[in-house]
Amino acid sequence: MHTWPSLRRPHRTGRTRSGTRTRTRSRATARVTGVLIAAAALLVSACSAGSSTTTSTGAAEAALAALPRATPSALAPYYSQHLRWRACGVPGFQCATMKAPLDYAEPGAGDIKLAVARKNATGKDKLGSLLVNPGGPGGSAIGYLEQYAGIGYPAEVRAAYDMVAMDPRGVARSEPVECLDGRRMDAFTQTDMTPDDQQEVNALVGQYRKFAESCGARSARLLRHVSTVEAARDMDILRAVLGDPKLNYVGASYGTFLGATYAGLFPDRVGRLVLDGAIDPSLDSRRVNLDQTAGFETAFQAFAKDCVHRSDCPLGGKGTAPAQVGDHLKAFFRKLDAHPVPAGNPGGRKLGESLATTGVIAAMYDQAAWEQLRQALTSAMRENDGAGLLALSDSYYERDPKGQYTNLMMANAAVNCLDLPAAFTGPEQVEKALPTFEKTSPVFGAGLAWASLNCAYWPVKATGEPHRIEAKGAAPIVVVGTTRDPATPYRWARSLAGQLSSARLLTYVGDGHTAYGRGSSCIDSAINAYLLDGTPPPPGKRCS
């Protein structure tokens, strides 16, 4: 599926990695398929099933089956291993390496090494471990722990729990999937995502093929074994070696799919699970991408309404309708398509349509970035300076000033394309679907439709399908949804809460991707009470 990675970014005051001067926080990674050309990939989570724009046939009836309660003898050595903790990275944190079978169907065929980090509870009355995951797929959970969760979660939560993170298989420090080098990733992210003729279609398809072939050549051992189901099984090994009878967990964006999958496989081992910015596992890839397109359009409409009431809005003044704001932005994108503008960087990269679109989409994840987006658009549209939008795009792709990328986008595609069949099998299908996507979002529809093609050329066949997750018998699970979430639309949270047998839906009426730690005392107090006392929010709880 295509999905935009929507990672939770650290919430803090000061300069963020994207350069924002304001209080920012997680700008999630949803299961977005892809790579904006990579606009492909959010988390959400999924790559996509088939050609239908609705739930795949039979998905409503198919549910993820729980694994046997008894641990298979072949897995006993993994469940009984002892982690060797050592000081590492940020002061106060410890790191270790955990082994898991590369292939759970053949545990004796080889291991995969998974990086784990923790920050011990600051209080005496511990409740155990709290595992965190920021989303993606492809986001570094360890990075999130070090930069935010381990120091920014509420003090009472950090006092009660050992804060723990594990980079999922294929991600960051856990034997990362490798594909393109920095130079080739630059070319990939600059490819025209709204092709105007057959030559540009061929160029886009060629880039998707190069990306897939490179992943297959450089990460052949891993590509068949980075599914969400396997990552969830790794989490159960970690739970056991940490000495916790049940798993306590906070997952954001794609992390909700990972946590829900764990609950479906091990319902009797569910402790206190918070699934924030939920993904609907019952949807096929094309439906996921279309819903996400609608989500970004909703977020853009909110930005547009806010923008026209401000003196520094470059897309229109007071009285300008949101639709006109969108028309102005589309006209700007068309101009960049024909004439990229300088972006003031040492490598000489210019701001073209694809990078500019990514920069705008990056700002949709958090309304705290809207001011930065207005300034960046003003510079690009009025001063012919694309540096601001390029900085937003680079932050989204996790590209550093030296031209090196983390493996976020590579792991994102690897997980998404394994979890679900491709949304489209070729450009002809995309062209037929364009009117639907463009109607859903006049601004972003065409680019997101073409981004949904990324799994079509993947070297490994998908092993997953859309399915419901019921987790019958699990303890209460808190599902959190934000009404104007761009990357994980609110309807996904409602759907997941309806599937999980013990779910309580907690609603945040507002903007941005995910809700916990975003400044709502109502949301935070409800989740804190659940984590500390085990008391889920009452049915129908809404915050604003």
Q: Which domains does the chain have, with CATH numbers?
A: 73-176+223-281+471-543 (3.40.50.1820)
CA 209 to CA 456: how far, in whole Å?
A: 9
Residue 514 has pLDDT above 50, yes or no: yes
pLDDT band at 220 (very low <50, low <70, confident <90, very high): very high
Look up 485 and say whether it is catalytic: yes
Catalytic residue, candidates 18, 26, 253, 502 = 253
- Neighbour count for residue 191 (Cβ, 10 Å): 23
pLDDT at 34: 33
Given a cut of 80, whether residue 438 has pLDDT beyond it is yes
Given a cut of 80, whether residue 373 has pLDDT beyond it is yes
Closest by Cα among 355, 462, 474 to 419: 462
pLDDT of residue 348: 87
Is 80 exceeded by the pLDDT of residue 113?
yes
pLDDT tier for residue 346 given thresholds of 50, 70 and 90: confident
pLDDT digits (tens, 9 = 90+) for 7-24: 444 332 222 222 222 222
Q: Helix and strand tally (H, E) in the chain? A: 19, 14
pLDDT at 347: 80
544 is catalytic: no
Cβ atoms of residues 251 and 132 within 8 Å: yes
Q: Write down the pLDDT at residue 60.
A: 52
pLDDT, residue 89, reads: 79
Per-residue pLDDT tens for 180-219? 999 999 999 999 999 999 999 999 999 999 999 999 999 9
**From 225, 328, 467, 513, active-site residue:** 513
In which band, very low, low, confident or very high, does the pLDDT at 61 lie, cut at 50, 70 and 90? low
Residue 430 pLDDT > 70: yes
Query: Is 174 one of the catalytic residues?
Result: no
Residue 449 and residue 333: Cα distance in Å, rounded? 16
pLDDT on residue 184: 97
Is 312 in contact with 64 (CB distance < 8 Å)? no
Catalytic residue among 236, 284, 485, 524: 485
Q: For the chain, give the mean pLDDT.
A: 90
Residues 6+ apart with CB under 8 A from 462: 47, 417, 418, 419, 420, 421, 422, 455
85-110 pLDDT, tens per residue?
999 978 999 999 999 999 999 998 99
Q: Which residue has the higher pLDDT, 306 or 45?
A: 306
In SS3 terms, 151-219 reads as HHCCHHHHHHEEEEEECCCCCCCCCCCCCCCHHHHHHHHHCCCCCCCHHHHHHHHHHHHHHHHHHHHHC
Task: Tell me the mean pLDDT in the region 109-125.
Answer: 97
What are the tens digits of pLDDT across the range 20-50? 222 223 333 333 333 333 333 333 333 322 3
Q: What is the pTM of this model?
A: 0.91
